[in-house]
Chains A and B, each alone.
Chain A
């Protein structure tokens, strides 16, 4: 028996593109924005939420102003990327996945940013820093201090 009404399929990649858009605008996925996306794309809210929670690029919590990704890809790992992460956790006082109390920095791990020949690397707000040692971190983290302090 033919269906009376069948939803039109979404254009390919449309839901992911919308989630990326919301994430770029707010830095995370606020509930109202997800409801708006479901209405506009005419898909169930449950589908929007299931996709949003499946992918690690999205967060339901507000994030810090800066995001630090400590790469834990294979090359970084065997060249000390785990030590850099430990140093970052000690310096920022948060564990991976957490945001500092002043909402300045979110520390994340990532499995490979594809800069393996520069291992170990970290990425700060999308900029990649390679061939790192723990002693290089303070200089890189300077850009993650409040703007007032940077000017001092």
Chain B
């Protein structure tokens, strides 16, 4: 079948609705990478086998990520006439319980995390009575502040079925753009929405499109940047895995708006499932004529090629990414000219982040005014963060811009892991900085984060507590940028190396107070003189930690002490004989063979052999291992 008209879309929508809201139980298992990493595949198999064994008629589907990664594997069950419930930390055993209950026509309370309100059927008030005592999804602190736009379908639809995407208003925006709006009208809509680039730099998306539209030269290209390389961030992976058609629709609209006929989706090599899902989705959209020639009878032709990266962080930089697609090295070049006027093969090219493009269909579908009304002044809309690290609730969250860091970390994140106090949050990956807890009243916006010495970045948010050494964190990031620096320009290549060497000396207890000043000076130079964003932002982790956590640096260089008890050269491990029960766990786990002793007697650590790796500290069930700082 080819989709030629709006009524063809309606046919697909009803097909999608029939699987999304079937007359029999629908069980969705979250099987994005996070779910799979915690055993979702076993849960899926058990659900299928148990249902088969009982002859239970169900719709069992694979979905993407619903965001609450802490609670994975997550299973979402909707039982017609009863409601829809999200089950957390599902094991094969719980899966058997769930099927048994469904066979009896019930939604069990065991393992239930929340009741999912059904917006489509407005059963909100009724569903909340399905399982007394179980809150609605949006009543959970984790979801209370969230507003899902980019992630609106993630974890709800089967990402392999375009019909379910269409059932959630998918492709309505493309139809509106192609059939009702001129190119300029599409650009104006995006411009007025206030959408800014979600890759991190925050350039107004509509303005970028306008520049490209106005630029002379054909052909033009659009590129989706899915080379999400920041360690500690996985927003783009989740969107590509959970809702690939959303990105493809956004890319197609972008192509239409600037007058391009070819688009590229560049996906990071480390994301095999995202590559698979997007490849499948592009093929399916092509079969239906939603990619290809004369889309929806509009006369607009558009094709998409998927390029799989090969493990180079710098390719997330737009000019490096373009060079990588062309078959060259993934090395950046100076800007201007910007890709909007001279990009792929020197032609005008729009390159947008995954989340930016995933926002476009909603803006065209619901209008610029609606989108502009969300968020804060100059920072319209929502932003997706991966909230990870030493925080109680980890996961993927989407919040309106302007929310405070406090609400993000304390309310949504539930505070520090294990109830410990949060010391800092790191945003923006290796390009960003560490902000101390005393600044948590700051609203999240491009400008406030930059002023505070960090950046918005693509959305990684790593929480750190008192057991995290900020000097070691700075050294960690510099090790990363040093390794990933492409080497083309000297300030970045040599500057990152110098900063890393100095930080290494400091964590090894060989730093001097003068090192701190020189470090600051070199950081400023690297920032000012590097060719691309990688080098220009690489000093941020150093500068922000020096700014907010100078006392930790000083403790390292003057007292030769690591207050967090992390830096190996500055700490020592001992076993407290009065606490040790002699269980032998530490002896078994010690990779250096430094622990000796007899069962049921206190063990001892040979300080000569000990490599200070901390494994014994982490495995000791009674807390007998002490860090001497």
Same complex: yes
Contact flag A12-B305 (CB < 8 Å), given A78-B462, A117-B69, A126-B272 = yes
Please provide the chain B residues from 323 to 354 with a CB less than 8 Å away from any CB of chain A in the complex.
Answer: 324-330, 344-345
Segment at the A interface, from B20-28, B78-86, B128-136, B223-231: B223-231
Residues of B within 8 A of A86 (CB): 591, 611, 613, 615
Closest to A54 in B: B329
* Bound Cα distance from A55 to B238, whole angstroms: 24
How near does chain A come to B594, taking the closest CB pair, in angstroms?
A: 12
Please provide the chain A residues from 124 to 138 with a CB less than 8 Å away from any CB of chain B in the complex.
Answer: 126-131, 133-135
Q: Does A19 contact B (CB under 8 A)?
A: yes
Give the total of B residues in contact with A, Cβ under 8 Å: 74
Q: Does A6 contact B (CB under 8 A)?
A: no
Please report whether the interface of chain B is mostly helix, strand, loop or mixed according to DSSP.
mixed
How near does chain B come to A120, taking the closest CB pair, in angstroms?
A: 11
Segment at the B interface, from A60-68, A69-77, A98-106, A142-150: A69-77
How near does chain A come to B242, taking the closest CB pair, in angstroms?
A: 12
How near does chain A come to B36, taking the closest CB pair, in angstroms?
A: 6
Closest to A13 in B: B307
- Picked from B237, B476, B589, B611, the residue with its CB within 8 Å of the CB of A135 is B589
Residues of B within 8 A of A10 (CB): 326-327
- Picked from A74, A80, A130, the residue with its CB within 8 Å of the CB of B426 is A74
Q: Does A33 contact B (CB under 8 A)?
A: no
- Picked from B231, B327, B329, B345, the residue with its CB within 8 Å of the CB of A43 is B327
Is there contact, CB below 8 Å, between B34 and A16? no
Is there contact, CB below 8 Å, between B231 and A72? yes
* Bound Cα distance from A11 to B303, whole angstroms: 13
How near does chain A come to B610, taking the closest CB pair, in angstroms?
A: 12
* Bound Cα distance from A135 to B584, whole angstroms: 13
Closest to A137 in B: B589
Is there contact, CB below 8 Å, between B231 and A117? no
Q: Does A45 contact B (CB under 8 A)?
A: no
Contact flag A12-B386 (CB < 8 Å), given A78-B468, A83-B614 = no
Q: Does B264 contact A (CB under 8 A)?
A: yes
Closest to B235 in A: A114
Q: Does B249 contact A (CB under 8 A)?
A: no
Residues of B within 8 A of A133 (CB): 618-619
Residues in B lying within 8 Å of A, measured CB to CB = 33-34, 36-38, 69-70, 72, 228-234, 237-238, 262, 264, 266, 268-272, 305-313, 324-330, 344-345, 386-390, 394-396, 426, 429, 460, 462, 464, 468, 473, 476-477, 480, 483-484, 486, 585, 589, 591-592, 611, 613-615, 618-619
- Rank and list the top 4 A-B pairs by shortest CB-CB distance, nearest first: A117-B69, A55-B310, A13-B307, A114-B234
Enumerate 21 A-B pairs (CB-CB under 8 Å) in ascending A order.
A12-B307, A16-B324, A51-B328, A55-B310, A55-B312, A75-B388, A75-B394, A75-B462, A78-B389, A90-B591, A91-B591, A110-B270, A111-B229, A112-B231, A114-B234, A114-B271, A115-B34, A117-B72, A118-B72, A129-B37, A134-B615
